[in-house]
């Protein structure tokens, strides 16, 4: 049985995110055959229905979570204004108006600041730190709109989507389901962007420990892992018998970042398990969609004890 998967860091809030939304909606709806979609750096409104932004969610079960836990904000509001639902509604309305302002500013400066912070060492951190101090509310509140979105096709897979925090400030979304009599664990993940190798290694080990406790037949890890194929983290996955679908199909990892003239492979779909065949795997998108390229794959999941005949 075939399973169609898409993973993509869509990073809407940087560089004309409204135009990107239209482009990505169009691309995903045109495909219309994804069974599972794992999106990272999704822009999530407070009050507005998410279906009004992401028009491809209508035929799918979905769950979204923000990096910054909104329950902390609502807990404070409930403490200050007990039993006053109107205060919460006003706050949500104001936050969605703030999103318009933040998206406009970040569309102009967002990618430039991110590149300075990541690629220019100490000087980059000073420059970005200056802007944060100058406009603190923009950067503080911007994090409350960022998150993850996992979607599963309703009529094909019966599964709940669950959030779990397994790193410091980093969460995964995962689903457990049966498919062609196989027990499958699917994980949407976005590891830390920081350059500290120890932190990334710790995050990956915690993720693998979580997976080990689940004891599933097949494990699929999809997302922005923020490390390349020449790193220890990549070798750890290989050592634990995980296979990168892109590398298995083509013998190399195709670059996914930045989308304009890609130089690094940061995004992957990894699989653990046997009797799985890779039918297709491709990069999707361009610079008009996101600063990352997405990965779409079609895999054939056979029954556990099915013997595949060798070609003569």
Q: What tens digit of pLDDT does each residue of 234-283 get?
A: 999 999 999 999 999 999 999 999 998 999 999 999 999 999 999 999 99
- Residue 187's nearest CA partner among 170, 199, 174, 197 is 174
State which residues form the domain around 239: 2-70+144-301
Residue 306 has pLDDT above 60, yes or no: no
- Report the DSSP beta bridge partners of residue 99: none
Query: Is 173 contained in some domain?
Result: yes
- The answer as to whether 50 is a domain residue is yes
120 lies in some domain: no
Please report which helix (H) or strand (E) contains residue 23, including its range: helix 17-31
Q: Tokens 């009004």 map to which residue?
A: 52
Instruction: Check pLDDT > 80 for residue 139.
Output: no
CB within 8 Å of 255: residues ≥ 6 apart: 262, 263, 264, 265, 293
Task: Tell me whether residue 235 is in a domain.
Answer: yes
- pTM (2 decimals)? 0.88
Q: Where are the beta strands (DSSP E) in the chain?
A: 2-9, 36-43, 60-66, 146-153, 162-165, 171-179, 182-190, 218-224, 243-244, 267-272, 276-284, 294-301
CATH number reported for the structural domain that contains residue 204 in this entry: 3.60.10.10
Using a pLDDT cut of 90, give the percent of the chain over it: 54
> Would you say residue 117 lies in a domain?
no
- For residue 138, being part of any structural domain is answered with no
The H-or-E segment that residue 132 falls in is helix 121-134
Please provide the distance, in angstroms rounded to a whole number, between the alpha carbons at the two ends of the chain.
24
Give the distance from CA 122 to its chain's centroid: 28
- What is the DSSP secondary structure assignment for residue 287, as one 8-state letter? T
Q: How far apart are CA 278 and CA 5, in angstroms?
A: 11
Number of independent structural domains in the chain: 1
pLDDT (mean) for 68-78: 80
Q: Give domain status of residue 260, yes or no.
A: yes
Q: pLDDT by residue (tens digit) across 200-224?
A: 889 999 999 999 999 999 999 999 9
Burial category of 83 from C-beta neighbours within 10 Å (exposed 0-12, middle 13-18, buried 19 and up) = exposed
Contact assessment for residue 271 and residue 219, using Cβ atoms and an 8 Å cutoff:
yes
Q: Based on C-alpha coordinates, what's the Rg of the chain?
A: 20
What pLDDT digit, counting tens, does each position of 25-35 carry? 999 998 879 99
Do the domain assignments include residue 112?
Answer: no
């Amino acid at each position: 049985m075939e399973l169609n998967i898409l993973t993509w860091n869509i990073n809407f809030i940087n560089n004309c995110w409204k135009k990107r939304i239209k482009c990505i909606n169009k691309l995903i709806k045109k495909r219309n055959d994804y069974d599972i979609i794992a999106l990272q750096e999704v822009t999530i409104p407070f009050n507005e229905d998410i279906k009004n932004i992401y028009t491809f969610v209508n035929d799918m079960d979905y769950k979204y979570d923000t990096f910054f836990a909104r329950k902390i904000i609502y807990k404070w509001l409930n403490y200050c204004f007990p039993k006053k639902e109107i205060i919460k509604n006003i706050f949500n309305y104001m936050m969605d108006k703030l999103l318009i302002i933040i998206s406009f500013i970040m569309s102009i400066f967002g990618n430039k600041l991110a590149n300075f912070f990541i690629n220019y060492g100490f000087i980059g951190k000073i420059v970005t730190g200056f802007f944060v101090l100058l406009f603190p509310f923009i950067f503080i509140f911007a994090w409350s709109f960022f998150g993850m979105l996992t979607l599963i096709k309703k009529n094909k897979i019966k599964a709940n989507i669950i959030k779990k925090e397994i790193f410091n400030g980093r969460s995964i979304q995962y689903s457990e389901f049966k498919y062609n009599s196989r027990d499958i664990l699917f994980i949407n993940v976005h590891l830390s962007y920081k350059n500290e190798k120890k932190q990334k290694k710790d995050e990956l080990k915690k993720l693998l420990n979580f997976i080990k406790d689940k004891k599933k037949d097949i494990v699929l890890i999809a997302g922005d892992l923020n490390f390349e194929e020449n790193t220890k983290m990549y070798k750890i996955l290989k050592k634990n018998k995980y296979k990168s679908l892109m590398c298995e199909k083509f013998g190399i990892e195709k670059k996914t970042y930045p989308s304009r003239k890609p130089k690094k492979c940061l995004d992957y779909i990894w699989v653990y398990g046997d009797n799985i065949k890779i039918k297709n795997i491709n990069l999707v998108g361009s610079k008009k969609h996101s600063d990352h390229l997405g990965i779409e794959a079609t895999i054939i999941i056979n029954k556990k004890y099915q013997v595949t005949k060798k070609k003569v």
